[in-house]
Homo-oligomer: A and B are copies of this chain.
């Protein structure tokens, strides 16, 4: 399997783990290192295995359902790192309330002898799909 396909595969498994709300599956996606990082939309940066795993535990505890449709998935691989960008078009049920949202995401994966593992997830809310004529940095 070409490296791009392997990264695409682990990226797909990341979203399947997210949809499953199964913490053990999510644990298996990530590299167990102190330099892994995770940014949930609007949250502060989380660094290291413990902080990142704690965040998934809490999200899974508070989510009844999560469904993703991924669009514009772009994968590049270089020197043992996989770099993925995509849109998460998600429908979730949180504490009984349904939500639809679009999240723009950068994911990074690192290659190890056992396969590819996530080392970085940065999701951010999309406020507009098209740039304004006179955009401003917020």
Size bracket of the A interface? 35 or more
In A67-125, the 8 Å CB interface with B consists of 72, 74, 76, 78-81, 83, 85, 87, 90, 92, 94-95, 99, 101, 103-104, 106, 108, 110, 120, 122-125
**What's the minimum C-beta distance from A7 to chain B, rounded to whole angstroms?**
13
Interface: A24 (CB within 8 A): no
Contacts known (A42-B126, A106-B122, A122-B124); A136 close to B59, Cβ less than 8 A? yes
What is the count of identical protomers in the complex? Answer: 2
The answer on a CB contact under 8 Å between B76 and A135 is no
Q: Across the interface, which residues of B come within 8 angstroms of A125, CB to CB? A: 42, 124-125, 138
